[in-house]
Copies of this chain bind each other. A is one copy, B any other.
Amino acid sequence: MPTLDDRHWFTEVHDLTGSAFSLRCRRKLHEERSPYQTIEVYETEAFGNLMVIDGFTMLSSREHFLYHEMLAHPVLLTHPDPKHLCIIGGGDCGTLREVLKHDGVEQVTQIDIDERVTRIAERFFPELTAGNDDPRATLLFADGIHWMAEAPDAGLDAIIIDSTDPVGSAQGLFTADFYRDCRRALGDGGLLVQQSESPLYHLDIIAAMHEDLKGAGFGATQTLFFPQTIYPSGWWSATMACTEPEIPAFRRIDAEVLLGTRYYNADIHAAALAQPELVRKRLGTLD
């Protein structure tokens, strides 16, 4: 077996499944301990820059478009006229960038607990933060759970939860209590979307999210699927919830021309909604 010389590779081990993903690195560009977490940035050989938080890969220049496009565009093209949004987490600003591509959006508030993630993204992923001075965007550095608990009723059209895994500080973002606050903060026809881990490794987490979202008063839930090379299993998901009994049909637009996407388009949106058999069997009674 080849040897991964630890001086030249960043490796994330996924203990639960005894698997690991590694990227060959030229050098470590940055490391710091913020009040919340340890943030590292590596210059990889072929994936551009790589951000790592507490040892978990967050994004790389090469493939972050898959995740950010799939977190932003499906929900924005499913709501008939999304004007007021918030992003919980998302400190690297890649999701915010995709959201701001939608002309109809009037106001986006991003609430990430850790300002250092954004400052480091400005330095090492400037393509993601270039639009942060857009007058429609407000960046807050605060606890998203508290912010949501105090958000006015029915003021939002969509909530995007772009968090780390459901451990540590992000754990509270995967609870029925938090979802109840989200439900209250959404107006009629409001939509929520949250990154929801790997369909191959974390079906239990996905199933619990569907249950908790329903328990919190959402009328309909659905999980989207997409590839995500640097996350465990390479196959990822996001789960959508709607205040109404049905998630409406999405608007088909020419996404490449209007949004400059590299993965997302209308056919991919429809494809992401297809439920693999193993998921359909597990979630069958929850949808």
Chain A positions within 8 Å of B, measured between CB atoms, are 1-4, 6, 9-13, 16-24, 44-47, 55, 63, 199-200, 225, 227-229, 233-235, 255-256, 261-265, 267-268, 270-278, 280-281
Contacts and interface: CB of A to CB of B under 8 A. Distances in A.
A274 B268 contact: yes
A265 B280 contact: yes
A170 to B, nearest CB: 21
A206 to B, nearest CB: 15
Nearest to A19: B23
Contact of A274 (B3, B6, B19, B270): B270
B9 A6 contact: no
Contacts of A274: 265, 267-268, 270-271
Given A19-B21, A20-B9, A276 B265 contact: yes
Indicate how many identical chains form the complex: 2
Given A21-B21, A256-B280, 18 more contacts: A1-B6, A1-B9, A1-B55, A11-B22, A18-B44, A19-B21, A19-B22, A19-B47, A19-B229, A20-B22, A22-B22, A234-B235, A262-B277, A263-B278, A267-B274, A267-B275, A271-B271, A271-B274
Contact of A63 (B3, B200, B280): B200
Contacts of A268: 274-277
B24 A18 contact: yes
Contacts of A262: 276-278
A270 B277 CA distance: 14
A264 B235 contact: no
Contacts of A234: 227-229, 233-235
A176 to B, nearest CB: 29
Contacts of A21: 19-22
Interface centre among A234, A235, A255, A265, by most chain B C-beta atoms within 10 angstroms, is A234
A100 to B, nearest CB: 19
Contact of A45 (B18, B46, B263, B270): B18
Contacts of A9: 1, 20
A144 B261 CA distance: 41
